[in-house]
Structure 1
Amino acid sequence: MHKEIIAKLALLCLLAYPSIGFPADARTEKRLRELEEKQRQLERAVKDRDEVIKDLERARREARSAGSRSPQTTGLASDYPQDDFWSRYEPGNGFKLAQTPYGDLTWSAFTYARYLNQRSLDPYYTDSFGREFELDRRHDMQLQKVTMYFKGWLLDPKFHYLLYTWTSNSNQGQSAQVVVAGNLGYKFNDNFNLSAGINSLPSTRSTQGTFPDWLRVDHRTIADEFFRASYTSGIWASGDITKKSRYQLMLGNNLSQLGVDANQLDEQFNTVSGAAWVMPTTGEYGPKSGFGDYEYHENLATLFGASYTRSREDAQAQPGINSFENSQIRLSDGTLLFQLDPFDVGSQVDRATYQMASVNGGLKKCGYSLDAEYYWRKVDNFETSGPIPVDALHDHGFQLQASAMLVPSLLQLYLSGSKIYGDYGNPWDVALGANIYPFKRREVRVNTQVLYLKDSPVGYNSVPFIVGGDGAVLSIDLMLAF
């Protein structure tokens, strides 16, 4: 088509050429040569332009294809081909749904499907007082949890919000299936951020914002589960102490409010929890300061921290057995402190004071990680309906978690376990597992784990262990988190 246009232009120019200056034949011959040369130049220019267009189209197709395969990147939004899309994805934060001068909105989600087999557990267990119980062992498949987060700022970038819905699908049919919660906050500066709403008490590493970057999928070691506090309503401050250290302090209603209504709470508002941690070598410990070294630190990253929690608890303000993030005070054999006649002497515990301290440390380098935590708990100052055989409960324990990225960005193996030293037994657990990242990114992983329990003192529907569990448990999870 280009050649036809050029030929017609050449003919018009030839016909219109003035009839003076050269003889007709010489004049015509020279003009034809000039037009032919211009035609060749135009053809070369068109060909060059077509090649540039082809190269650009090829690059766009490759970029789109690479984006659909979710390549390993540095984690920056600028790594992603997003010119043709109306939204933006920020790894570790979610999808940006709105960004205006008045505020912004980001959406993210967490979910996983779990196959669980507890059939190898002993069918019965006996507590420290000789009472025998039959275990409700499970063998099923569940879309275990769906959590959706909506977060951002409004009117002032320092005024931020977090709203979320949280389902526990293994509790379908119960009041503990769905939670809608959130919090509001204002960041005065890097050293002081003040927030109010529902949040986890910073009692251990796992309740200090590390979720979901754990080695196990959405469950802890039994020692961490036994000693920790949980989510409650309150007010808290957080921020940097120095460039390499942070803190969080919280005042809340009780140890675990999810599943507890306001009328069940006492009037004290005296649950306090605080934590501080330092990252001395690199000033960071990976995303959310979580467990494992998926990021493959070239330089040694270290973290050391401590926490303390105190709460005056009563029987009425305890969550149900299968409530969200269940956290109840138990004896080390699994007996609920506030259950009917816990010590088998005919008396009920109405109130008690819980105190727990923990210290933790960890290191990461070149795909390897090692994290440890030690706990001390004291429960005393009992108010009872009659005499009980103890004045105080003293328990302590530890957890260890180690991992290795055998194939960077693809395959991680881990070994984790814990032990509790208590007045009513010394339970322990150990887990061997593998995390496979099929897209070579953190957002999707397949987890296979064999967990061995020895007289587990904790358990509920949302976790693979069960109170009194003794034996092996197999779980397989497909997890999505973005």
Structure 2
Amino acid sequence: MKANVDRTRSRRLTLAAVGLLAACALSTPAALLADEPRRLPMIDDAVAASVSLPTVTPVVYQPFIGIACEPGDDPLAPRYEVGALFDKGLFIRGVDPERDPYAMYIGGRLQVRHTGFARSAETWTDSAGVTRTIRNRNNFDAERVRLNIQGTAVDPALSYYFILDGDSDGASTADFLTFFFEYEFDEACRLRFGRWKIASDREWLLSSRFLTLADRSMATEYFRGAFSEGVWLLGDFGDGWHYETSFTNGLSTSTRRPSDLDDNLCVAATVFWEPLGDFGATFVDYDCHAEPVVRLGASTAFDKSDDRSDAGFPGGDDNFVRLSDGTRLSDLGVLGPGVQLLGDRVLKSSLDFGWKYRGWFVSAEWFLRSIQDLTATGPSVVSQIDDHGYRCDAGLFLIPKRLDVIGRVSHVSGPFGDAYEYAGGFNWYWGSGKRDGKLADPINKFTFDVTALDGSPVSTTTADLFAGDRGVLFRTQVQIGF
């Protein structure tokens, strides 16, 4: 009796299941039953195979990234692409720049450095009569931790560039080191506006990615300008001629508030000529030129600083200008007992020369600076200060694109004393960018140098130089960039 009941119940369940399947088949949209390349929703392959329905083949859509397609666009054709390029970083950009001129490249760079300094004197006395201690140093630090963002927007000729910078010297904080927009009218005329380097001095304008040793020379650090906000005009005239001009708030004003600025502007210009072909982005002959290449250049800059105490502005320079013994020109007592600078005129110029051939290179620069029309809170002991100096780097590759050795000498001379720098070191390039089928590039490298200092006239944390330094400086650095 029980068996009959079980069989009856089984027949009823079977009929109910068949009825349910028939109802599902009748209620299934025609689009799912058609021979279109679509997948049944929420049904896996095993279940679908057990059901008597047409075979369903999934469609593999090509992925694309971008803004909404225009009417009539092929939805399978990508408008934007994602990838990576050496020395540019990760990117997203339009496949057709004329149609979609938007692009963004995100790259980065890190310099980790160990610095050691053994002093040969314990103190030095500046021109204001203040005696200061010379300290031994032994420390690790992250010198340049940078995120670069660049690309194009609105128009293929309109580009932008931002650098977010941080380092151990800046209390591990990050800020925008530089930022600008640039519009290219043609090769001979590009207009740039934002914050960038003033257009003067060849080694200063060289990217810190490509420095010959761990950092720039003592002479360049003494005579150079810095970053400032303003407008730039630059371009290529053809036949190897290049130029750049800038109109900025000052020689170095990127860390100053607008309320601390007077109503004067700094004017700077540089020009260089490469008569034997493209000199390249670096001073060293990384590409081992089969034929010699030469670069000849000149730079100049003029800056004014006036007393604006009547308008509530602080007088004097921006503490960037120093004397040849390392004293800041704006320090109290430099121009006389109890006297402090209110205003000045700075005119500076430089000439530079570069040569490369078969792994050898020479890069040299001569500087001249004149500080005139000094105004102060009292009678000044000087009315004009003239300084000059030079730097020279030379070296060769012992192993092409892998190992080079470099020597350097630089000198600063002025009425307040002379200073000398003698340095030597090497770079080992391990490479991460692909060139000629090999992994090699001039950015990713290990650097070691030794520098003898006889009275540094400048303080700069990027080069690990401090005013008055006398002794031997050791720097070991690893640089990684992409």
Q: Same fold (TM over 0.5)?
A: yes
Which residue, 353, 357, 365 being the options, matches 1:373?
A: 365
Deviates more, 1:399-408 or 1:290-299: 290-299
Where do residues 321-470 of structure 1 align in structure 2 (5 Å cutoff)? 328-439=320-431, 440-470=440-470
The match for 2:191 among 181, 189, 194 is 194
Q: How far off is 1:108 after superposition?
A: 1.8
Give the Å deviation of 1:208.
Answer: 2.6
- Report the alpha carbon displacement of residue 135 of structure 1 after superposing the two structures with TM: 2.5
Q: How many residues align?
A: 383
| Post-superposition offset of 1:462 | 2.5
Q: Tell me the CA shift for residue 209 of structure 1.
A: 4.3
Query: Which deviates more from structure 2 when the two are superposed, residues 441-450 or residues 122-131?
Result: 122-131
Please say if residues 110 and 145 of structure 2, whose CA atoms lie closer than 8 Å, have aligned partners that are also in contact.
Answer: yes
CA contact (8 A) 2:127 2:334 kept: no
Counterpart Cα distance in 2 of 1:129 and 1:316: 18
Aligned residue number for residue 279 of structure 2: 285
Matched, 1:221 2:184: no
Residue 161 of structure 2 corresponds to 162
Report the equivalent of 1:151. Answer: 150
Q: Distance in 1 between the 2:148 and 2:131 partners?
A: 42
Aligned to 1:244: 240
Whole-Å separation in 1 of the counterparts to 2:394 and 2:358: 13
Q: Which digits, 9 at most, give the CA deviation of each residue in 1:191-218, with x for residues without a partner?
A: 000010001012100233443211022x
Q: Is the 8 A contact 2:147 2:165 kept in 1?
A: yes
Who is 2:119 aligned against? 120
The whole-number CA distance in structure 2 between the counterparts of 1:183 and 1:245 is 24
Q: Secondary structure at the match of 1:163?
A: strand
1:93 aligns with 2:92: no
Task: Classify 1:448/1:104 alpha carbon distance in 2 versus 1 (closer, same or farther; 3 Å).
Answer: same
Deviations 1:444-467 (A, max 9, x none): 111011011110010232222111
Contact map agreement 2:299 2:351 (CA 8 A) in 1:
yes
- For residues 301 and 243 of structure 1, the distance between their equivalents in structure 2, rounded to whole angstroms, comes to 14
Q: Which residue of 1 aligns with 2:437?
A: none
- Counterpart in the other structure of 1:102: 101
Q: Secondary structure at the match of 1:373?
A: strand
Q: 1 or 2, which has the higher helix percentage?
A: 1
> How far, CA to CA, are the matches of 2:221 and 2:177 in structure 1?
23
Between 1:151-160 and 1:335-344, the stretch displaced more is 335-344
Assess if the C-alpha contact under 8 Å between 1:378 and 1:393 holds in 2: yes
The answer as to whether partners of 2:305 and 2:316 remain within 8 angstroms in 1 is yes
C-alpha distance in structure 2 between counterparts of 1:370 and 1:446, whole Å = 21
When residues 188 and 123 of structure 1 are mapped into structure 2, their CA distance, relative to the original with a 3 A threshold, is same
The residue matched to 1:427 in structure 2 has which SS?
A: strand
Q: How many Å separate the matches in 2 of 1:469 and 1:117?
A: 13
Q: Distance in 2 between matches of 1:293 and 1:94?
A: 24
Q: Distance in 1 between matches of 2:291 and 2:321?
A: 41
Q: Identity over aligned residues, as a percent?
A: 22
1:381-413: CA deviation from partner (whole Å, max 9, x where unpaired): 112100111110011111100011111111010
Deviations 1:14-34 (A, max 9, x none): xxxxxxxxxxxxxxxxxxxxx
The alpha-carbon distance between structure 1 residues 317 and 93, as it changes in their structure 2 partners (threshold 3 A), is: farther
CA spacing shift, 1:150–1:418, aligned 2, 3 Å: same
Q: Identify the residue that residue 182 of structure 1 maps to in structure 2.
A: 179
Question: C-alpha separation between the residues in 2 aligned to 1:188 and 1:273?
Answer: 21
Work out the CA distance in 1 between the residues paired with 2:254 and 2:155.
30
Q: Deviations over 1:122-167 (max 9, x none)?
A: 3311234653211344211112221111111112110111112011
Give, in whole Å, the separation in 1 of the partners of 2:251 and 2:90: 33
Q: 1:293-336, CA deviations, whole angstroms, 9 ceiling, x for partnerless residues? A: 1111111110000011000135657557xxxxxxx111100110
Structure 2: runs of 5 or more not aligned: 1-80, 307-313, 432-439
In the superposition, the TM-score normalised over structure 1's length comes to 0.76
Q: Is 1:212 aligned to 2:206, yes or no? A: no
Structure 1 pair 173–280 and aligned structure 2 pair: CA distance change class (3 A): closer
Contact in 2 for aligned 1:456/1:465 (Cα 8 Å): yes
Q: 1:197 to 1:354 in 2, by over 3 A?
A: same
Cα separation, 2, equivalents of 1:129 and 1:257: 25
**Residue identity matched to 2:461:** N
Partner of 1:19: none
TM-score normalised per structure 2: 0.76
Structure 1 residue ranges (4+ consecutive) displaced by more than 4 angstroms after TM superposition: 314-320
Aligned positions of 1:298-337 closer than 5 A? 298-313=290-305, 316=315, 328-337=320-329
Write the deviation string for residues 153-195 of structure 1: whole angstroms up to 9, x where unpaired: 1121101111120113222078xx5335410111000000001
- Partner residue, 1:73: none
What 5-or-longer segments of structure 1 have no aligned partner?
Answer: 1-85, 321-327
Contact 1:260 1:318 in 2 (8 A): no
Distance 1:451 1:209, change over 3 A: closer
Cα deviation digits, residues 238-278 of structure 1 (max 9, x gap)? 0012231100011000111122111101122x200001000
**Aligned pairs (5 A) from 1:271-282:** 271-282=266-277
CA–CA distance in 2 between the matches of 1:461 and 1:316? 25
Report if the CA contact (8 A) 2:316-2:343 is conserved.
no
